[in-house]
Every structure is written in structure tokens, then in C-alpha cells.
Amino acid sequence: MMAAITAAECGARVTLYEKNPILGKRLLMLETEDFAYTHGGDVEQLVEGFSRGGEFLYPALIRFSNQAWIGYLEKLGLKSISVEDRFLPETGKPEDLVNLLSDELKKRGVEVKISTKTQDLLVSRKKIQGLVAHNLEAKYDRVILTTGGLARPKTGSTGDGLSFAEKLRHNIIPTFPGLVPLKTLEKLGNELPGAVLKKVKLTLFVDKERQESVFGKVKFVSGAIAGPTILAMSGKVNRLLSESKSVEISLDLKPDTPREHLEEWFKAEAEKGLNVSVGDLLHTFIPGRMIPVVGRFSGARVYKGYFALSSLEKKALLIVVKDMRFNITGSGSYQDALVTSGGVDLSEVDIDTMESKLVKGLYFAGEILDIEGKTGAYNLQAAFSTARTAAEAAAKTTKRVVKKKATVKKTTTKKAKKATKKATA
């Protein structure tokens, strides 16, 4: 939608092909409480929010930043509010943004073909000639693919654009579900689903070697771990698992207390009350439903007082609190994923225009590219910025072609006049 609006703003005649019966289905399926249309950080923060493709996106984010996007929507009449580090419509409803963009398509004279699936691209001599839809050929000299990847297939993202690009000899970086919960070997039981750890330290281990540590929030779901930090790791973890690497994630449940001081903390807290159990102490920094799980992982009797534990139980309890280890066996499916990790190889796309380096007149925008940002509307902003960049470039190129033809015609006319004058003389 953004690409079509932008190209029309630049004076191009635009047709938008939508395989779904409605526009903006991907946005409309987002939960209202989770919806935001952009992140509130500066461009550098946006770039840092991408585990894949951040540097590639820099020119597009500079050209059409989140602040430019916010201002653009305000001019169209969308009132926004800032919640923490992100922006969303004042009502919080995704349909407000979709309706606004739909109205703008009409104002700009964009021809919209809904329930129309593109079947193939027409290419001759490495140049776009048009496309095929409903078994009919349509001639176009510029095509922008904004088909998404494979995540959330119910929204229409079934990899069509990736297939087109691969057919045209584009390298497709292997795809995996991204921003998706990670499944664990450990049985988490019925206690944990829904429990949230607001601030823990997460450490990624690959083949038993420590890779990286980050602080963040963790949420437990049925048979898996989730939360913003886990989701941000998921694409990378899926790639590691595909390479037969062993992957573990360690949670430090009390990151503000160093391991060497944790035993003293337990002793000091236990001495404050004779009837204080280990579970009571744990409940000061983890949810109550997680206490029996810590007990199961460590073997410590959490219903007893700290001083009633054996030395082995105390040692095991300290280990689990500082290093609650989960063996990762896989992830949710594309249906559960928020984005696709992988896509069109960025080295084959012009960083300044989003045009294919292999096929003239073919442009890419959004999730079809090999980019992957963390949660917080990073990926949406990337989609809007790359769509704007691709559309401006495609429309300007079209104008140059038209202008060049007009110049040739004018020159020919002058030559004809000179020839006529000479002949008359």
C-alpha cells in the first residue's frame, strides 16, 4: 500500500495487486494491544535493532525515517500516541491505519485489484515486461514486490515473491521462522505458561560455548519460552539448529546479585524470619508459579527453610537461580512467527533504490528481503521505508524514460526543419 501511494504521489500510473479479498490483512491480524506502526528511537537505534540487514537498511531509514513516517501520517489526519518506545494510532486500532492508507490509494488514483494473485513475472533480456494474473498478461515496465515472506501464511504470505525472485536467479538466503517462541527439551509442566520474568539475564550457549548475554523479559508459554528477547534470538537459533548445533539458553533469575554473593543473600534474608521458606525468598524475585519449577530443576525442598536444606540442596539451588538452563529443540512454525528470517540476498539489491541488480525494473521492499528486526515495530518501519525508497526510485526512472523519449522527438524535429530549410535554399 505504501509503495503504491508513493509511486502515485511521484506521478506514476499505478496498479496494486492484492491476493487477499481485503487490503492490509497482515496489519489487521495484529493484536490491538501489540500494535504499533513504528519505533520511537533514532535511526542509529533502529539499525541496531536488526540482527540481519541493519546496515543495508540505513539509507532507506535515513531517506524515510520513523519521524518522517509519523509526520506523514499526521498530515493525512492520523492522530498518534507514544507508548514507551513506540508509536501507535490514538485508538490503538490497526484498522485506523489501514483505512487511512486505503483512502489515500483512492485519492491518488491507484487502481486496486483485490483477490488477484500474481502468478508470474514477465521478463525479457533481464528487464521487467509485466506480470501474469488470472492467466492474463499485463504489461508494466516497473514491478515492486512487497509480498512478504512465509510468516503468518493465513495473511497471504506464502512465499510467492521469493519463488519469483528465485526463478529469476536471485539467491534466496535460507528462510526460517523469526520472532517465534523456542521449544525446550525440559518439561515445564502446567505451572509456568503465562508466567513472566520481567528482568533476567539470558546467555546463549552453542555447542556448550558461551556466545552472548543480554538482559530482557522472558515469558513462558506451553512447552516453550518466549518474550521479546527470546523472540529476537529465534531466527539465529533456528539457523544454528539447522546446522546441527546444540543450543542452550541460560536464565540468570537474579542478575543484580553476583554468584559469589548469592549465598550470603539467602542467609541474610533467611535470618530475618524463622518461618521464612525458600519459596518465600524466591518469591521476592520470581513469580510464585515458578517456585515449584525451580524446586524441580534443583531438587531443593523449596517449602523448607533455607537452613533446613542440605549443603547439596543449597549448592544446587544457587546453580539453578544463576544458571537455569534450557535445551532448545526447535521453535514454533511459520504460523506462529511474526517475521521470516532470510529472504532475497541483499548483495543482489541496490541499497539506494531497492532495485534488483539482476533484473532491471524489478524492486523489492519489506519482509521479502533478508532483514530481521526485533519486536517493537522495527520490521514495520523497515517495510514502510523500503517501500517508499523503491517506489520513489521506480517512479523517477519511469519519468526519466519518458523525458528521454520527448527529447529525442524534439531533436528530430529541429533536424527536420534544418533539412527543409537547406533544401529550399
Dump pLDDT digits (tens) for 98-128. Answer: 999 999 999 999 999 999 999 999 999 999 9
- Is pLDDT above 70 for 211? yes
Q: How many residues in the chain?
A: 425
Position 281 confidence tier, pLDDT thresholds 50, 70, 90: very high
Average of per-residue pLDDT across 193-210: 94
pLDDT for the residue numbered 32: 64
pLDDT band at residue 398 using 50, 70 and 90 as cut-offs: low
**What's the whole-model pTM score?**
0.88
- For residue 391, is pLDDT > 80? yes
Q: How far is the CA of 211 from the CAs of 193, 214, 236, 249, 331, in angstroms? A: 27, 10, 12, 10, 19
Q: Residue 423's pLDDT is what?
A: 31
Position of cell 515486461? 129
Buried b (16+ CB within 10 A) or exposed e, 145-168: bbbbbbbbeebbbbbbbbebbeee
| Mean per-residue pLDDT over the chain, rounded | 90
414 versus 384: which is more confidently predicted?
A: 384
Spatial contact of 81 and 87, defined as CB atoms under 8 Å apart? yes
State what percent of residues in the chain have pLDDT above 90. Answer: 82
Q: Which domains does the chain have, with CATH numbers?
A: 2-177+337-404 (3.50.50.60), 182-331 (no CATH)
What is the structure's pLDDT at 33? 62
Under the banding of pLDDT at 50, 70 and 90, the label for residue 34 is low
The secondary structure of the chain, three-state, reads CHHHHHHHHCCCCCEEECCCCCCCHHHHCCCHHHCCCEECCCHHHHHHCEEECHHHHHHHHHHCCHHHHHHHHHHHCCCEEEECCEEEECCCCHHHHHHHHHHHHHHCCCEEECCCCEEEEEEECCEEEEEEECCEEEECCCEEECCCCCCCHHHCCCCHHHHHHHHCCCCEEEEEEECCCEEECCCCCCCCCCCEEEEEEEEEEECCEEEEEEEEEEEEECCEEECHHHHHHHHHHHHHHHCCCCEEEEEECCCCCCHHHHHHHHHHHHCCCCCCEHHHHHCCCCCHHHHHHHHHHHCCCCCCEHHHCCHHHHHHHHHHHHCEEEEEEEECCCCCCCEEEEEECHHHECCCCCEECCCECEEECHHHECCEECCCCHHHHHHHHHHHHHHHHHHHHHHHHHHHHHHHHHHHHHHHHHHHHHHHC
Q: Specify the pLDDT at position 140.
A: 97
Instruction: Compute and round to an integer the Cα radius of gyration of the chain.
Output: 28
pLDDT bracket for residue 30 (50, 70, 90): confident
Residue among 32, 36, 28, 48 at smallest CA distance from 373: 48
Quote the pLDDT of residue 417.
39
Q: How far apart are CA 366 and CA 278, in angstroms?
A: 50
> What confidence tier does 191 reach under pLDDT thresholds 50, 70, 90?
confident
pLDDT of residue 90: 87
Paired strand residues for 128: 123
- pLDDT of 411 higher than 80: no
pLDDT over 50 (residue 422):
no
**Mean pLDDT to the nearest integer, 80-92:** 89
pLDDT band at 314 (very low <50, low <70, confident <90, very high): very high
- Tens of pLDDT, residue by residue over 141-161, are 999 999 999 999 999 999 999
The yes-or-no verdict on residue 406 having pLDDT over 70 is: no
Give the whole-number percent of the chain exceeding pLDDT 70: 92
Amino acid at 254: K
Cβ partners under 8 Å of residue 259, min gap 6: 318, 322
Q: Across residues 205-230, what is the average pLDDT?
A: 93
